């Protein structure tokens, strides 16, 4: 895949319409890289003028801030803001709710003022505009899909309907878990928990959440966050259900619905 960087656009005196913030997971985690590729395939298929920062992109600093290291967070954030402001970035889209939340709500206080959109909202807008044509969505017709609300997408930013609208556009049978929307249950990775040992307890949070998903009888668990994807995938494996239940990011499902991606159900 060939994706142009902001530096390449700048060298030609051009400015892309949107900066795709890939994020650490989307760049380095093998599972999340598949989501990155699926989203890029959609953008390229629709001829959307976008760019990435490439090697100039650093971690947003979210894990450091959540773990209590404000100094490291500000150091990373200021570095990113300096780079983006130098390119005149106006609009950012990201596949990670953690990146989305901090870029949208916490970067402005440090001088980073951008229109930040999560990829589920971005994709919903494209469907509403009639630009996304779901020509191969028949594979999802009648299949039970349950959606897991990411904490930073749902309760933190009140984005509940865009992801569900995308799944409904696939003509799938959307079934809700008993804890959903404003009462959604965390996957267990938030607040930098992804990077530390869990506290003592009787049940792992990701297992408890996976049990709720399995109770719905869904064949697909849809996520919109790389951390949620990892935690729920681990939960499905822990329950030895990986042959019966698949975990996908919504971007992967939308790419498959357009015939851009082959996924095994």
**pLDDT per residue over 105-131, tens digit each?**
999 999 999 999 999 999 999 999 999
Residue 198 pLDDT greater than 80, yes or no: no
Q: Which domain holds residue 42?
A: 6-123
Residues 79 and 140 in one domain: no
pLDDT > 90 in the chain, percent: 88
- In angstroms, the CA 82 to CA 61 distance is 14
Average pLDDT, the chain: 94
**Mean pLDDT within 59-88:** 96
> Do 16 and 105 fall into the same domain?
yes
Assess contact for 120 and 166: CB atoms under 8 A. yes
Same structural domain, 164 and 69: no
74 and 110 share one domain: yes
Provide the pLDDT for residue 189.
79
Mean pLDDT value of segment 11-18: 96
Question: Residue 88, by phi and psi: left (phi above 0), alpha (psi -120 to 50) or beta?
Answer: left
When pLDDT is averaged across residues 34-51 and rounded to a whole number, the result is 98
Residues 229 and 139 grouped into a single domain: yes
Task: Supply the CATH number for residue 237's domain.
Answer: 3.40.50
Question: What pLDDT does residue 203 have?
Answer: 85
- Residue 247 is inside which H or E element, if any? strand 246-249
Instruction: Examine the domain organization and report whether 111 and 199 are in the same domain.
Output: no
Helix (H, G, I), strand (E, B) or coil at 19: strand
How many domains is the chain partitioned into structurally?
Answer: 2
Which of 91, 123, 155 lies at the terminal end of a domain, its last residue? 123
% of the chain beyond a pLDDT of 70: 98
Confidence of residue 188 (pLDDT cuts 50, 70, 90): confident
- Report helix, strand and coil shares of the chain as percent, to nearest 5: 50, 10, 40
Does some domain include residue 30? yes
Task: Give the sheet arrangement for strand 50-51, strand by strand.
Answer: 50-51, 18-21, 91-94, 115-118
Residues 109 and 188 in one domain: no
In the three-class reduction of DSSP (H, G, I as helix; E, B as strand; rest coil), residue 123 is classed as helix
């Amino acid at each position: 895949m060939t994706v142009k960087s902001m530096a390449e656009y700048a060298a030609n005196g051009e400015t892309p319409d949107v900066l795709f913030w890939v994020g650490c997971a989307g760049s380095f985690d093998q599972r999340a890289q598949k989501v990155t590729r699926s989203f890029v395939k959609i953008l390229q298929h629709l001829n959307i003028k976008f760019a990435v920062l490439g090697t100039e992109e650093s971690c947003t600093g979210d894990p450091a801030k959540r773990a209590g290291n404000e100094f490291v967070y500000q150091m990373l954030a200021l570095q990113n803001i300096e780079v983006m402001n130098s390119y005149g970035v106006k609009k950012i889209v990201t596949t990670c709710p953690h990146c989305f939340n901090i870029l949208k709500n916490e970067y402005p206080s440090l001088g980073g003022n951008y229109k930040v959109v999560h990829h589920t909202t971005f994709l919903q807008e494209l469907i509403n505009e009639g630009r996304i044509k779901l020509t191969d969505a028949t594979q999802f017709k009648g299949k039970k899909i349950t959606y897991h609300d990411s904490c930073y997408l749902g309760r933190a930013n009140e984005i509940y309907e865009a992801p569900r609208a995308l799944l409904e556009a696939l003509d799938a049978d959307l079934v809700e878990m008993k804890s959903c929307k404003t009462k959604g249950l965390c996957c267990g990775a938030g607040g930098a928990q992804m990077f530390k040992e869990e506290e003592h307890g009787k049940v792992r949070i990701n297992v408890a959440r996976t049990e709720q998903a399995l109770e719905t009888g869904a064949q697909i668990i849809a996520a919109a966050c790389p951390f949620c994807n990892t935690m729920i995938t681990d939960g499905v494996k822990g329950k030895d259900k990986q042959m019966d239940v698949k975990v996908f990011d919504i971007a992967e499902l939308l790419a498959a619905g357009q015939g851009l991606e082959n996924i095994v159900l």
